[in-house]
Structure 1
Amino acid sequence: MIRADTSRSGPPGDVPGLPSPWVLARVTGPSMSPTVRHGDRLLVRRGDTAAPGDVVLARFPARPDLLVVKRVVRAVPGGHWVQGDNPFVTDDSRSFGTAVVVGRVVGRVTPRPGRLPAPP
């Protein structure tokens, strides 16, 4: 299962030296492979709007303890329908319903972009 770990000292996920809407998220699990992989650190802008195709940090009201990185499929009443890029993992809207977007992923911090093959 892919999760974003924003646990750090101070406000959760805040990036030192960056304004507060920015957070770092550490990915765990294979649900967004090959786009995002286990161990990647992502730069997320909280409160950003999300459109279909965007990769986002989100929560499911049905599982508020679970913070996930998924791709927006479409807007639905109450939030967004999100799914992982790995078709074999279904810990997304197919299992938990509508998600509430916390922020939009704007880039990968580590490993540095270009160090891995580009996604298909």
Structure 2
Amino acid sequence: MTSSNWFFALGLIVAALLTAESVRQLRRRWVLVEIKGVSMEPALHDGDEVLAKRTRNIAVGDIVVVTAPDPRLGWAEAKRAPSVKFASRGSAPSPWWVKRVTAGPGEPMPDSGEPVPPGHYFLLSDNPEVRDDSRRHGPCPANLIVGSVIRSF
């Protein structure tokens, strides 16, 4: 093998490694989630996909991707469940939910008027008929919010 062949092979290896690292970095920063169900209608529909940016800067009115709560115990126990780093198509059930932030820490919770605990957010479905949100599971700990939706498809 000549030296030019070695350089070509080395170049291919370096390009593959750079591509793999780029994909890893993108997945650390962004997440693509498919909407399942009608909880976010009329803003988002079943089958829509949303692109969310992983961030801790959450504001009232944002649509966020959040770790799904434990069905019986709520978000307080969801943090003890095994973490899921990336959504995979075809997996059931979804490890993440998409909800709208309606109150932040210290702000009054809708319906009760009590303040949202520090480090928590009150999340609601846009569809008023769906009550599988903070009204059922309680305020969501901030560390379970994956990111803020920036675009839907």
Query: Shared fold by TM > 0.5?
Result: yes
Select which of 66, 76, 81 maps to 1:58: 66
- Aligned identity (percent) is 37
Report the CA distance between 1:63 and its aligned residue: 5.9
Q: Higher mean Cα deviation, 63-72 or 42-51?
A: 63-72
More strand by share: 1
Three-state SS of the structure 2 residue aligned to 1:25 is strand
- Corresponding residue number in structure 2 for 1:90: 131
- Corresponding residue number in structure 1 for 2:42: 34
Three-state SS of the structure 2 residue aligned to 1:50 is coil
Question: Is the 8 Å Cα contact of residues 56 and 69 (structure 1) preserved in structure 2?
Answer: yes
Equivalences, count: 95
Moved over 4 A (4+): none
Question: Is the 8 Å Cα contact of residues 44 and 57 (structure 1) preserved in structure 2?
Answer: yes
In structure 1, C-alpha distance between the alignment counterparts of 2:96 and 2:132, rounded to whole Å? 11
Q: Normalising to structure 1: TM-score of the pair?
A: 0.70
In structure 1, C-alpha distance between the alignment counterparts of 2:149 and 2:40, rounded to whole Å? 13
- Corresponding residue number in structure 1 for 2:98: 69
What root-mean-square deviation, in Å, do the aligned CA atoms of Structure 1 and Structure 2 show?
A: 2.2
Rg (Cα) greater in structure? 2
Structure 2 gaps, min length 5: 1-22, 70-74, 82-94, 105-115
Structure 1 gaps, min length 5: 1-15, 111-120
More helix by share: 2
Three-state SS of the structure 2 residue aligned to 1:28 is coil
